[in-house]
Chains A and B, each alone.
Chain A
């Protein structure tokens, strides 16, 4: 008795996720063949939206910015995660510091953006009254740096946790044996710790790529794509064309392209990092 009908307990979750997650995920293909503003009657246009995107200079510009931003963010994020996890390992302050690093990922985003904005604004920011702050409201490069710092600030706790969990799984005896055999700390890091951390690094790189290819919230909160469209990452371009310019069909096609790009990148990275072993 009882074992089979337990299936029904999953029904609320399955129904809700099917309708509001799986269905929209598949339905985006249908929308992508529409010319639709959300208010107007949709008009079926076939693959026209995709053709337009591939000819759209703004799309390529946005793709370029996203890739630059991705490299700019991922490299320091992964390096910092590793260094911090190593430096924290076994210290008496490991727990409280980890708790602090994790905090920015949970707190109110809008509030965090306000704190950053009032602190770093080059015109009337608090920091500007003490030291010169680069004009990120005029220079696309510095604007990207600001978004990068904000992104790393929000996710560093998670990065450290991922590396740290892996680090704790490395048997101490392995490092002791290496030390007995005369390996310097640098050598045992290079030849023992680093290779064993590879799964964690792969995980971070893949997750980080997915997030940078799809992220737009930080851009929306801090720069709104400016200055001069210099921080218009793909996710933000999607939001802008869909909900500010009212071209939902076009935005749906963009969604599909971003999903395909994400998939291609994630697979390529997973393969690349695995084969290097």
Chain B
């Protein structure tokens, strides 16, 4: 029985890893190998696929879109962490808002494309950068995660600081911020991944060239040249690598945060 378990685990692990291995391999395939159809026959290493990506000029080409997306999603993440951290503090201090956030947690954001579109039209921010930022200024999930973390901070610690004359600002920046660093990192990675992986939403509310996210850019390229997979894989790899690296750095924290969330 035991060897069956090992077999299952390693088979699944291989299948899960396969698309990643392939992505890394295909990104460096010499273009000639793709056109001749001899993909695995001749081993070759080439950076040609990455050079192709810069062809459209910097800002509207792949690298510009990647930079734009990193900055955009990075700002949204910081914004979500800030609003979430403050809200979690309010909850910790006795604001009776937890039910409000828990109800919001159950609303499926993915399904709200139509009314959100209507709202953005009404606010006249359709096709502006604000359409990609403002609706994500806060996330009930992040509030919940950070509140879970804040619950573990002993009340006596805050009470002692208060007696010493510490106000909200000192409590937040000097005590809670360092104590919650692990939770902030885990929540930050998850918030980053969630915003980064919006696929249809940015396409609908911000379709113009200078607002295209890297997701949209890759999906468009796949539409136009589905057979040209050297450059496609290079773009996929370059767009995926930042997330993989961040994840590997904080993997333990993220998995643990999820496990804690499941217990709560």
A60: Cβ under 8 A from any B Cβ: no
* Cβ A10 vs Cβ B9 within 8 A: no
B residues 234-264 in Cβ contact with A at 8 Å: 235-237, 239-240, 243-244, 247-248, 251-252, 254-255, 258-259, 262-263
* Cβ B107 vs Cβ A22 within 8 A: yes
Q: Which of A24, A104, A252 contacts B16 (CB 8 A)?
A: A104
B68: Cβ under 8 A from any A Cβ: no
Given contacts A21-B107, A22-B104, A88-B9, A243 and B84 within 8 Å (CB-CB) = no
* Cβ A111 vs Cβ B9 within 8 A: no
Q: Mark A15-36, 1 if CB is under 8 A from B, else 0.
A: 0110111111101100100000
> How far is A7 from B89 in the complex, measured between Cα atoms in Å?
9
Interface residue count for B (Cβ, 8 Å)? 95
Kindly provide the distance from the CB of A148 to the nearest chain B CB, expressed in whole angstroms: 13
Number of A-B contacts (CB under 8 A): 275
A-B contact pairs, 30 of them (CB 8 A): A12-B86, A12-B87, A17-B104, A20-B119, A21-B107, A21-B112, A22-B104, A24-B118, A28-B112, A31-B118, A38-B121, A84-B9, A87-B6, A99-B248, A106-B190, A106-B197, A108-B214, A108-B215, A109-B197, A111-B23, A113-B219, A115-B19, A115-B22, A123-B227, A129-B40, A130-B40, A156-B16, A161-B258, A220-B200, A242-B114
Per DSSP, chain B at the interface is: helix
Given contacts A25-B107, A86-B5, A107-B244, A217 and B200 within 8 Å (CB-CB) = yes
Chain A residues with Cβ below 8 Å from B1 are: 185
> How far is A106 from B255 in the complex, measured between Cα atoms in Å?
12
A interface, size bucket: 35 or more
* Cβ B108 vs Cβ A24 within 8 A: no
